[in-house]
Amino acid sequence: MVVKKIAILFSGNGTNLQNLIEKLHNKVFDDTKIEVALTISNKKDVYGIKRSQKFGIEPIVIENKAFNSREEFDKELVGVIKKQNIDLVVLAGFMRILSSVFTQNVKAINIHPSLLPLFKGANAIEESFNSDEKFGGATVHYVSEELDGGEIIIQKSFEKTLDMNIDEFEKHIHKIEYDIFPKAVIAVLTK
């Protein structure tokens, strides 16, 4: 059996972080054991920290505001990640634009709450809800230098109905995220 270590990076509520830990941590898939070896938040006092602690995983907090540039922050992140021999970095609501210092040095995947390439960026849920598109959805993709532009690993859609309000729309998206994100991690680590 091989052991693959992942790091989960987050900035906020951490529901995807919790779902990933519940479904993957110390579980075996196709002779590959996945270990959540590291969790990192770029913000202190966010609820995701408590969620991680509940599973006995003490997050490392690296506040981006303590650094003078994007590159210096990314260098610190990469240093911490490399020290732990991480096989895959998983961005779960990590609200940072990453420089090439990060993207060229670690293998990472990200979850995005739209059917990419539609609605890149930070307002994807509102923009896709307000658009004329008949479907909403979520995408897991590799992280590249282009924001939300890396190769797509899995994406799943649902039909947007006229009676749906934005809260219901958002709930559908999160449900899809909790389904496809762990699957994408397993797919990447066992291929």
Cβ contact 121:153 at 8 Å: no
Among 16, 39, 52, 103, binds ligand GRF (CB under 6 A): 16
Cβ contact 160:129 at 8 Å: yes
Q: Closer CB to ligand GRF, residue 31 or residue 167?
A: 167
Cα dihedral across residues 106, 109, 112, 116: positive or negative: positive
Enter the tokens of residue 102: 């990060």
Using the contact rule CB under 6 A, the part of the chain among 6-14, 72-80, 129-137, 182-190 near ligand GRF is 6-14
Instruction: Name the nearest CA neighbour of 188 among 109, 113, 117.
Output: 109
Among 113, 136, 137, 182, binds ligand GRF (CB under 6 A): 113
Tell me if 37 contacts ligand GRF by CB under 6 A. no
Strands (E), 22-116: 27-29, 32-41, 60-61, 88-91, 108-112
Active site residue 141: no
CB of 9 to ligand GRF, least distance (A): 11
Among 7, 78, 98, 111, binds ligand GRF (CB under 6 A): 111
> Which residues would be at the binding site for ligand GRF (CB under 6 A)?
10, 12-17, 48, 92-93, 111-113, 177
